[in-house]
Structure formats: C-alpha cells, structure tokens
Amino acid sequence: MGAKARKNESDKPTVFHGMVLRLDNLTPEVRGEPVPVQSAGQPSLRHDEIHSMREALRLSKNKKAVAAEKLGMSRATLWRKIREYDLK
C-alpha cells in the first residue's frame, strides 16, 4: 500500500468500542514513526511505571494478583513487565 493510500485512510476516523480513533491520535511507535527522545530532567514513562509497580507490589505484600488489580492490568501483564524491567 502506498503512502497516498495510507494518507487517505488516516483521514477516516475509526470507531473502536465507541471511541473515535484517528491515526494522528496514536503514538509514534504505532504510526511507524521514530520515537521522540526524552528531554533531560523529565522522568520517563518507564520510570513512572516501574515506581508504580514497585509500590503496588509493596502495598500488596508482593501478591501479584492484588498488585495487578491495583494497577489495572492482568496478572500475566504484570509478570511480563516484572521480567521486562528485571524487577525482583
């Protein structure tokens, strides 16, 4: 599919579970564009997520199912992120 066809498709909103999605509302990764570099002095999303996960695990006394529920994710997703971020 050529760039022109993709451009025309991006002009059409997509309805997903009652929400209207447009290509320009998606993150650069999803759009296939380079990810902007984090500016100095700003905490990264990854840092915030790791902090939230550690806090939820601490509050739940390391019970993964309880921590995952507090974080609004599945237990499997929490386990995947624990491995991805190498959390102990």
Residue 13 counted as domain residue = no
Please answer whether residues 50 and 42 qualify as being in contact, where contact means their C-beta atoms are separated by less than 8 angstroms: no
At 41, the pLDDT band (50, 70, 90 cuts) reads: low
- How many structural domains is the chain composed of? 1
The model carries a pTM of 0.51
Question: Is 26 inside any structural domain?
Answer: no
Q: Which domain covers residue 75, as residue numbers? A: 51-84
pLDDT the model gives residue 27: 74
Asked whether the beta carbons of 78 and 66 are under 8 A apart, the reply is no
At 46 the pLDDT is 83
Quickly count: other Cβ atoms within 10 Å of residue 73's Cβ: 16
